[in-house]
C-alpha cells in the first residue's frame, strides 16, 4: 500500500499538469465577416458585332443635311406590311458618309429652286429584309393591300422583284425620297405614293400626267447630277453609283445610339 506522502505527491503532480494545460496560449478568435448591403454591379453586355459592324463609315443624315425631312415608313405601321419593321429602333435616316455627302449636294442644288428633300427610307438592316420575307409566307396577312398592292396577289410582290431576298438599302448608299415645296412643306405630286407596287410607280409610266412626269424628272435629274443612279420601276429609289460597299450587306439597327 502507498503511504500518505506518496498520495500527496501524486496529487500535486496532477495539479501541476492540469494548470500548465489551462495556461497554454489559445488561438485568437477571428472577427466575424461584416455583413454589407452592397449589391454587385451587373455588367452591361457589349454590343455584338452584328450591331456595330461598319457603323463608323455611316452617319445620321440629319447631321449632314440639317433641314432634310423624314417620314420613316418602316419605323411606323403605315407601310406595305402594316407594322413596324424589325431593326427600325428609331425614326432616323442613316447613310454611308459618302452617300450622305452626295445627297447634301442634291439638297443644295434644289434649295434655291424652292424644294427640300423628304426621306422615306435609307439604310435598311438585313433583319428588316428578313421580316419582309417572313411576312410574305403568310398568305392571309393582306392588311395593307388596298393601299400598296391592290392589283397584285401577295406573292407577286416577290416574284416580280418588288421585294428581294437582299436589298441594296442594306449596303448603306441607297435612299428612297421625294420632293416637298420649301414654302409649305407640301409634297410635290409625283403621281403615285411611295412603295406602291404597280406600273404607276415606273418613272415613265403612262398612267400619270405630264406634270407628274416632269416632277419625277426634276428629282431624277437632280440625283443623277450628283452621282446617283435610279431604278426605273420605282421613281423614289436611288443608289450612289460609286457606293463604298457594293458587296457588303449590313445588319446594325437603325438607331442614333451609335452616332
Contact 119, 82 (CB under 8 A): no
Q: How many CA atoms lie within 13 A of 89 on its CB side?
A: 13
Q: Say which DSSP state 155 is in.
A: T
All three cell numbers of 203: 418613272
* Residues belonging to the active site: 234
In order of 112, 119, 255, the CA distances from 107 in angstroms are: 9, 12, 23
Give Cβ neighbours of residue 228 (< 8 Å, ≥ 6 apart): 102, 103, 106, 175, 238, 239, 240, 241
Amino acid at each position: 500500500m502507498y503511504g500518505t506522502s506518496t498520495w500527496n505527491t501524486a496529487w500535486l503532480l496532477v495539479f501541476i499538469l492540469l494548470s500548465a494545460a489551462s495556461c497554454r496560449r489559445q488561438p485568437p478568435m477571428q472577427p466575424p465577416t461584416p455583413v454589407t448591403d452592397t449589391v454587385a454591379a451587373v455588367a452591361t453586355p457589349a454590343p455584338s458585332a452584328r450591331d456595330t459592324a461598319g457603323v463608323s463609315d455611316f452617319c445620321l443624315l440629319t447631321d449632314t443635311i440639317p433641314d432634310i425631312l423624314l417620314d420613316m415608313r418602316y419605323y411606323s405601321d403605315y407601310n406595305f406590311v402594316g407594322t413596324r419593321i424589325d431593326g427600325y429602333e428609331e425614326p432616323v435616316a442613316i447613310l454611308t458618309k459618302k452617300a450622305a455627302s452626295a445627297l447634301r449636294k442634291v439638297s443644295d442644288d434644289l434649295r434655291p429652286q424652292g424644294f427640300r428633300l423628304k426621306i422615306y427610307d435609307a439604310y435598311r438592316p438585313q433583319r428588316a429584309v428578313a421580316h419582309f420575307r417572313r411576312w410574305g409566307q403568310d398568305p392571309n396577312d393582306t392588311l395593307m393591300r388596298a393601299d400598296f398592292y391592290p392589283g397584285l396577289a401577295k406573292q407577286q410582290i416577290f416574284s416580280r422583284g418588288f421585294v428581294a431576298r437582299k436589298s441594296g438599302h442594306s449596303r448603306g448608299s441607297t435612299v428612297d425620297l421625294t420632293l416637298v415645296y420649301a414654302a409649305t412643306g407640301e409634297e410635290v405630286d409625283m403621281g403615285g405614293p411611295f412603295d406602291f407596287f404597280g406600273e404607276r410607280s415606273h418613272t415613265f409610266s403612262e398612267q400619270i400626267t405630264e406634270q407628274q412626269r416632269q416632277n419625277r424628272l426634276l428629282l431624277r435629274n437632280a440625283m443623277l447630277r450628283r452621282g446617283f443612279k435610279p431604278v426605273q420601276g420605282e421613281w423614289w429609289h436611288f443608289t450612289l453609283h460609286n457606293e463604298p460597299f457594293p458587296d457588303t450587306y449590313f445588319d446594325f439597327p437603325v438607331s442614333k445610339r451609335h452616332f
